[in-house]
Structures are given as C-alpha cells and as structure tokens.
Amino acid sequence: MSKTVYFDNNATTQVAPEVRDAMLPFFGELYGNPSSMHAFGGSVAKHVDAAREEVARFLNADPDEIIFTSCATESDNSAIRGTADYFGRDLKVITTAVEHPAVLQPCRRLKALGHEVVELPVDSTGQLDLAQLEAELSKPSTSKPATLVSIMWANNETGVLFPIEKVAEICRAHGAILHTDAVQVAGKIPVDVKKVPVDMLSMSGHKFHAPKGVGIFYVRKGTKLKPFMLGGHQERTRRAGTENVPYIVGLAKACELARLGMADETVKLTALRDKLEAGILVSCPNVRVNGDRTHRLPNTLNVSFEYIEGEAIAYHLSDLGICISTGSACASGSLDPSHVIRAMGVPFTAVHGSVRFSLSRYNTMDEVDYVLEKLPPVIRNLRELSPFGPDKDVSTFK
C-alpha cells in the first residue's frame, strides 16, 4: 500500500512540523524543572509562562485561567468531579446524551453515587432543544444549591455544533455553572471565552496538531472547584504533577498556528468536505448525511450507507490506504452502534452503516478525488454481498 489518505482527524491529527521544531530544545538542553529554585529551572519556567500566555490569547482568556493537563479526558474529569467534590450532594448535573465518554462516564459515576444527573436528548439532526435545558433548570425540584451544566461545543462524531452561546446565556440567567467540552472546535472555529462566557472548557492538543498527552483546562476566575489531581503545588495548586514542558510548548505553538491560520483553513476545509459530501450523495444510493448540516464543523462529514456495516466499509477503505472511522475512536473495538447516532433516532437500516470522514489542513482535493473514486465500488460490492437491502428482507437487520 503506497498511498495514505488520512481522513480521521477528529480521532487525532498529525503533529505540525512547526510544533515539532518548537518542542525539540525541551527534549535536549532545556530539560530543567520549571518549579526548581535555580536559574536553570527558571529559564524553562519562562517558556511555560510564555506558552500559557499564547494559549490564553487563543481563547481570549487570562493566563491565570489556563491550567495545563495531560489530555481533554483529564480536563473533563477535573471539571465534573472537581465541581462535585466542591459541592458534594448539593450538586445537580445536566449533560446531553451525545457527549464523549470523557464527560458521560464521570456524570454516570456521580449518578451512581447518588447525585441527580440528567442527560438531555437530541433531535433527529443531533440538535439540542434549548427549551428542555431551560425547563430542566427551572424545575421546582431543582432545590439543589448548585447546578453544573456540561454540554459539548461540537460533536466529535457528527460535527454538529451546539448553540453554546445561548446555552451560556441560559446558564447565567439560572445561576448554573457551565462546562463545555470544546475538544472538536479547537482550531476549527474561533473560541472567545469573553463572548461565550463558559465557566470551564476542555481541549486536547492532539486534535489540532500538537502531540498526544497534553490538554487545556480553562477555568474562569472565581469558579468553585476542587483540584482533581492532588500532590505538588504546580499550576498554583490547581493541578499537581510536574509540567510536561515540551508538550506545553508544542501546544502553545499549535494554538498560535490555529489562531493565525483558522480563517483560511475554514474556507479550505469546507470546500473539501462539501465536495466529498456532494460526490458521495451523487455516486452512492441509499445514503443519508447524519447531523445538522447548517450548524456543523467545517471538517466533518458523517454518513450512513444503508443496509451495510460501517466497520466493513472502513476495513475495505483501509486496504486502499484510506483512513476513516465508524464512531469515536474510544468506542472502536466494540461493534455496538454509536450512542450518538442512536440518540438521533437514525433508522435501524442506517445505524450500523454510519462512518465519519474528518479532514485537516494537510488534506487536498486530490485526496478527496481519490476517495470519491475508490468508495463507490466498495459500497456496491458490500451491498451485493449483503443479505439486506431495499429489495431484500430487512426483518432481521437490527
């Protein structure tokens, strides 16, 4: 296999060469511990400070509001478990049925521990009903002194964008604390925490061309929270553990590249994605696009090929050098249909055939053309082999 077409950028991205170059000195001569008293460590601490300023600029936040973590999973857990730790049983949690497991699992743990936890549904386009959020926040049963709302900004599987600005307004009006998992919007749409007043926000470096193993946890000043990671006094005692200096520097470089290049990239990604989508809809019958097509990330396309399995499609494309996914990377390995696609009520003939194409700045029109050449015969062949289809028996297709 000579060619690799990587269309799985919501799972992870290539480290940008500029990011790699920025990190290299910190694997060599600049190895000091930023917490050390001596000047050698202090010279490294300055780079961590500069990185914090760059990340803050990316989010229009204050540098003091940026905490470096190991990944978005840690940031999500810090927000949810840290808030629960602060308020104890007095906390009610509202989230959605389509969150990433890094949010859903800590919320379900809180539920098992006796907290009141509500998962809001989505409609057939994967959109949230804000009236339901308002209703949940206004319930007379909401006698809890504190409510945490954890709602993602963009869905990793469908790319659907939630109206997080309106969510923030509603939360403010009801005095609820708002956390958003902004992993998939990083580098794809502008994030400004002054315009969209969330209290906490999570991002992961490897989703926007920094390495795996470093994350952002934004915490607005004054937010009531206990630290999730206990130990030393790093990050002003808000996240213990020696700073991962090379990755923090790389993360800041990725933020800078995203900040400077985002406008052009959005235009490019939208053109690539739209060509891919139009080409698939023209060349393959019995296909549906999953998710709200007007409020969607520019790089993401989720489609269901009815009557066949997404895993089989991904497997055959992989043989042709094309990388796509059938759900969140974390759920792969299981053949259960995606919880996101199921929550949208996608018909059973299409649930299993859902696949995700997700693009990055490094993709090209030639690659889109290559996929549009190779994909239709794969779909045709799988359909011929499938015992199910529009003219076949679907009664056992579940």
Comparison of 273 and 383: residue with beta carbon closer to ligand PLP: 273
CB 238 within 8 A of CB 78: no
Task: Verify binding: residue 100, ligand PLP, rule CB under 6 A.
Answer: yes
Task: Verify binding: residue 302, ligand PLP, rule CB under 6 A.
Answer: no
User: 16, 23, 61, 71: which one contacts ligand PLP (CB under 6 A)?
Assistant: 71
How would you class 189 by CB atoms within 10 Å of its CB: exposed for 0-12, middle for 13-18, buried for 19 or more? middle
User: Minimal CA–CA distance to 200: which of 370, 316, 61, 48?
Assistant: 61
CB of 255 to ligand PLP, least distance (A): 16
Comparison of 100 and 209: residue with beta carbon closer to ligand PLP: 100
Comparison of 87 and 218: residue with beta carbon closer to ligand PLP: 218
Task: Verify binding: residue 254, ligand PLP, rule CB under 6 A.
Answer: no
Task: Verify binding: residue 8, ligand PLP, rule CB under 6 A.
Answer: no
- Residue 143 corresponds to which tokens in the numbers above? 């006698």
User: 180, 299, 326, 328: which one contacts ligand PLP (CB under 6 A)?
Assistant: 328
DSSP assignment string, 266-302: HHHHHHHHHHHHHHHHHH-SSEEE-S-SSSB-TTEEE
CB burial of 90-117 (b: ≥16 within 10 Å; e: otherwise) equals: ebbbbbbebbbebbbbbbeebeeeebbb
The DSSP output letter for 36 is: -
Query: Which of 67-75, 161-169, 219-227, 379-387 is the region at the interface with ligand PLP (rule: CB under 6 A)?
Result: 67-75
List the interface residues with ligand PLP, window 329-358 (CB under 6 A). 329
- Residues near 217 by Cβ (< 8 Å), separated by ≥ 6? 66, 67, 68, 69, 74, 75, 78, 79, 200, 201, 202, 239
Task: Verify binding: residue 210, ligand PLP, rule CB under 6 A.
Answer: no
Query: Which of 45-53, 135-143, 181-189, 316-324 is the region at the interface with ligand PLP (rule: CB under 6 A)?
Result: 181-189
Q: What whole-number distance in Å separates Cα of residue 277 and Cα of residue 279? A: 5
CB 349 within 8 A of CB 388: yes
CB of 393 to ligand PLP, least distance (A): 37
User: 19, 61, 72, 378: which one contacts ligand PLP (CB under 6 A)?
Assistant: 72
CB of 161 to ligand PLP, least distance (A): 12
Comparison of 133 and 331: residue with beta carbon closer to ligand PLP: 331
User: 183, 219, 312, 341: which one contacts ligand PLP (CB under 6 A)?
Assistant: 183
Say whether 330 is catalytic: yes
User: Minimal CA–CA distance to 54: which of 347, 302, 250?
Assistant: 250
Comparison of 206 and 383: residue with beta carbon closer to ligand PLP: 206
Task: Verify binding: residue 229, ligand PLP, rule CB under 6 A.
Answer: no
Task: Verify binding: residue 326, ligand PLP, rule CB under 6 A.
Answer: no
Query: Which of 68-76, 229-237, 245-253, 308-316 is the region at the interface with ligand PLP (rule: CB under 6 A)?
Result: 68-76
Q: What whole-number distance in Å separates Cα of residue 339 and Cα of residue 295? A: 20
CB of 328 to ligand PLP, least distance (A): 5
Task: Verify binding: residue 127, ligand PLP, rule CB under 6 A.
Answer: no
Task: Verify binding: residue 181, ligand PLP, rule CB under 6 A.
Answer: yes
The DSSP output letter for 89 is: G
Alpha-carbon torsion angle 288, 289, 292, 294, nearest 10: -120
CB 197 within 8 A of CB 172: yes
Of residues 107, 171, 255, 330, which has the active-site annotation? 330
Q: What whole-number distance in Å separates Cα of residue 280 and Cα of residue 273? A: 11
Residues that bind ligand PLP (CB under 6 A): 71-73, 100, 102, 152, 156, 181, 183-184, 204, 206, 328-329
Q: Any idea which residues carry the catalytic annotation?
A: 330
